[in-house]
Amino acid sequence: MLGSIMLGVKVGMTRISRGSGGVVPVTVLDVSCNTPLRNACRSSAKRVVLYRRSYSLRLARPQLCSCLGRNMEPAAYAGRPTQHGMAQHGIPACCRPHAKAMLRAGQLVTIRARSVGKGFSGVMKRHGFSSGRASHGSSKAHRTLGSTGMSQDPGRVFPGKRMPGHMGCEHSTARNLMVEHVAHDFVMVRGGIPGHAGSIVAILP
């Protein structure tokens, strides 16, 4: 479960023109798949906002049993809205959160998403290490890590050593992003946000 108020899909990036002149790069978010609840829980404090209804055969059995146990339709993703945030905008906990009712142009929002995965990366790309010498005996070792440990004392590599490994595909949070425009089911946020096109993002006003 994502602790969010509204879930959306990152459509991509574009640019819009302002009336006073100038062009602003924006990221388009589709929030049309937020669906209303159907008596999800007995307690209003545990109600969730469903997103992207899915066929039961496409869900794993734990996900399907979780949905059936809460008496709600199968959903690929779900988020638990905060009662303070819903009450602040005057939206009942059992209603569909509308983009125009919760967001406005010029508002600062926080967006949580999973960053783009870059696979197994070396230390230069992953940690910003400098390259080795490009001449004088450096044979196929221009982008290598170099020495990682000491000799007899202590004779080991300390934990936390920056080394090559998996890069990206981590939970990332972008704060204080300005909303440029809000349509019926689309939200345009200035600048870029984490994740690839088609990924699920959580919008926290």
What tens-digit pLDDT sequence spans the chain (205 residues)? 344 468 888 999 999 988 778 899 999 999 887 765 544 444 544 455 666 666 677 778 887 887 777 676 777 776 665 444 443 333 334 445 566 667 889 999 999 999 999 999 999 999 999 998 888 888 888 999 988 888 888 889 999 999 999 999 999 999 999 999 998 889 999 999 999 998 889 888 7
Q: What is the CB neighbour count within 10 angstroms for residue 167?
A: 17
Q: What's the fold here for domain 6-127+163-204?
A: Elongation Factor Tu (Ef-tu); domain 3 (2.40.30)
Ramachandran angles phi, psi of 124, nearest 5°? -70, -40
Indicate the pTM of the whole model: 0.73
Q: Is 74 exposed, middle or buried (0-12, 13-18, 19+ CB in 10 A)?
A: middle
142 SS3 class = coil
Distance (Å, whole) CA 18 – CA 16: 7
Amino acid at 89: H
101 SS3 class = helix
Domain ranges of the chain: 6-127+163-204
| Six-digit token string for 4 | 């969010």
User: How many angstroms separate the Cα of 17 from the Cα of each of 27, 99, 190?
Assistant: 14, 21, 12
